[in-house]
Amino acid sequence: MPETNPAACKIATDTGIEGRFIAGLFYCLEWNPVPYLMASMSKLTGNSEEVFAERRHRMIERQIVSRGVQDRCVLDAMRTVPRHRFVPSGSIEQAYQDGPLSIGQGQTISQPYIVASMTEHLELTPSSRVLEIGTGCGYQTAVLAEIAAEVVSLEIIEKLHARASELLTGLRYHNIILKHADGSLGWPDLAPYDGIIVTATAPQEPQPLLDQLSDGGRLVIPIGSHHDISQKLWVITRDGQDFSREYLYDVRFVPMTGEIDQ
């Protein structure tokens, strides 16, 4: 697991403007996002960080380990990332509960167990490059960044992209590239990826994502109709031009939007 140097870490972002990277600096021309990091920090006083660290420990033991997640790097990442920094200020006290929470824009931060389980099924190593479809609040992104060498994350909702960029910059991650884009198309310019994780339900497997997997790479994705009570979570593994599929369990995610939804 790569170490994070708070003094040196940067986040690379891509706003999509003229297709150029803007490394280490974030520009938002159309919207000034509410700084979730500062809003969250304003709620923390005295030994609150110690209290939240204890809640993370209980979350890991009672919600994650007890359900079978064993990957030590995943557990360490979940123990490290401060989940309460990624939720709206009014939901901080519920940050470590066993369930999803609303983050606005009709989106949610996933249940802690789902974050850990989907990450484990990617089978990441410290040298892995990962593509995340659906940055959301940035929590899953941060968990991935604690394990992998590089995380590329796409978000179709501009306000969420802007908010996550600000938050992850404040937390000083240096191995994340963010882009405001249609995630169903992936990002072929930076492919291939050792792992791809999709945090929204797709009606079918997006072919561009399969094409962007490296040989031996794994795609973890919920598939089904968002009208159904639940969808199926699958892990798809590439072997040359062939793909094997393993059903994991039923889940409930918000629908993927973009070209795949047309």
- Each residue's pLDDT tens digit, 117-139: 999 999 999 999 999 999 999 99
Distance CA 218, CA 195 (A): 5
CATH top-level class for 13-261? alpha beta
175 contacts 151 by C-beta, under 8 angstroms: yes
Q: Where are the domains of the chain?
A: 13-261
- Give backbone dihedrals phi and psi of 193, rounded to 5 degrees, phi first: -120, 140
**pLDDT > 60? residue 98:** yes
**Which residue out of 48, 91, 102, 110 is catalytically annotated?**
110
166 contacts 37 by C-beta, under 8 angstroms: yes
- Each residue's pLDDT tens digit, 220-242: 999 998 788 889 999 999 999 99
Q: Confidence class of residue 45 from pLDDT cuts 50, 70 and 90?
A: very low
Question: Which of 131, 191, 175 is closest to 12 using CA atoms?
Answer: 175
Residue-level pLDDT at 262 = 59
Ranking 47-51, 212-216, 218-222 by mean pLDDT, the lowest is 47-51
Residue-level pLDDT at 11 = 43
Distance CA 40, CA 85 (A): 6
Of 215 and 38, which is predicted with more confidence?
A: 215
* pTM, full prediction: 0.82
Catalytic annotation on 110? yes
Residue-level pLDDT at 28 = 33
- Each residue's pLDDT tens digit, 8-28: 333 444 433 333 233 333 333
The pLDDT > 90 percentage for the chain reads 74
166 contacts 33 by C-beta, under 8 angstroms: yes
Residue-level pLDDT at 169 = 95
